[in-house]
Amino acid sequence: MAFKLILIFILLFLVACSQEITNFEECEAAGNLVKESYPRQCRANGQIFVEEINETDEQFNQPKSPKIPSPQPPPPSSTPVPVPTPQTGCNNIEVAAIKLIYTDYSPGNLIGKINSVLQDYPSVDLIVTPEYTLYGWGPNQAQNYKRDPVIINCDRGQCTLTSIGTAKSDAIVDTVDVLKSTARQNQVNIVLGTVASRRTILERDITLNTQLIIDRQGNVIAEHLAAKKYDFFADPYISCQNHPPICQEIYDQSLNTVQAFTLSNRDNINFKIALVICGEMIDTGYADKLANEGVDIVVNSNFDQDCSWDNETKAIFAGHPVPQGSTGCWPEIIQQVINIYDNKRLIKDNSYLLVSDGLTGAAGIIPFRRTPQEDLELGSDYVYGVIKVGDSCSG
């Protein structure tokens, strides 16, 4: 009898182990542990499955305006967000850059990595994601990016995203809504890079690469268009040589979105950031728009193989002089950036570059000048650090 019971137990164990799990629902049904994040996550057989937040099929097939996830935040008119006042002294700000390579791009993977940061460091103040985060990259991807943009409308510090009616455009709007809820529930600022936004310029539909700021109240408060003089996503792409009027107008409209933004953390400590997308970091027109701003953090959503951001960050935080004695981007790129930004007074002595790179899956926290003494973690999902901001921080 005992032998039969053991045999039955073994058979049941083998059946359970051999059960293939392909999604969140199957993982939960199999009795695996579910983490009560938003969205929820379930781990089985060494994999993490993220719950998909879907609307009804009827809603999914209709072009729609952006929705606010429940619970809804109070309308800005009834509960105005306090405007941070300039801080004195030297304050700690917790930042994280997501490590996500383009071959793994998906809304679920992005949300999972952001939740990983929040689980490990629930008091993080600012998170940045790579360029093209929600679209991936590969053959014909430029055309795919152009095919599934969203419409972004910003008015007095409040931006809305509207789908153009395709399934992918719907999914982008839905994902941004999830991240708005995540930001609000966790009191974290998120710089989302990047989404494709459609604009009509000189009677032609143009797709522009766009960063978004989601503040800790869960509002999309700003967009930033890449300051470039072409539409890479057109087929063929619009070059300045062949289309100078459109090219210049694209650049001018992009520069109109370049500005410094003041954010705050849950302790109402404020810090000033500038958004940058990939190579515009060395654009002089971009730097001119930010002259005399003295930002604390330059936040870069990147897609470039020039820099080994992880190794740079590790070496610098280990005490290597900056920029001497380091490798990779030093001094070719970063020193060029420092020279441009110094001339424009765009950065301060204790300013940082926070970068997330989708081409290499790397991320970094790079001080422009000082050798940092703060905390650092180089994880598989993110790079996390505590940096000091404020006019009285010493080098």
pLDDT tens, position by position, 27-42: 778 877 665 444 666 7
User: 195-227 burial string, b = 16+ CB within 10 Å, else e?
Assistant: bbbbbebeeeebbbbbbbbbbbbbbbbbbbbbb
Tell me which residue has tokens 């800005």.
76
What domains sit in the chain, N to C, each tagged with a CATH number?
13-50 (no CATH), 57-70+90-389 (3.60.110.10)
User: Over 60: is that where the pLDDT of 89 sits?
Assistant: yes
| pLDDT at position 17 | 43
pLDDT category at 190 given cuts 50, 70, 90 is: very high
Q: Rounded mean pLDDT of 73-89?
A: 43
pLDDT tens, position by position, 99-149: 999 888 888 999 999 999 999 999 999 999 998 888 766 656 666 677 889
Range from 5-19, 183-197, 282-296, 357-371 that averages highest in pLDDT: 183-197
| pLDDT at position 170 | 93
pLDDT tens, position by position, 323-373: 444 445 655 667 778 888 888 899 988 899 999 998 888 899 988 876 665
Q: How far apart are CA 278 and CA 3, in angstroms?
A: 66
The lowest-confidence range among 92-96, 272-276, 304-308 is 304-308
Q: Rounded mean pLDDT of 249-259?
A: 88
Beta-bridged to residue 312, according to DSSP, are none
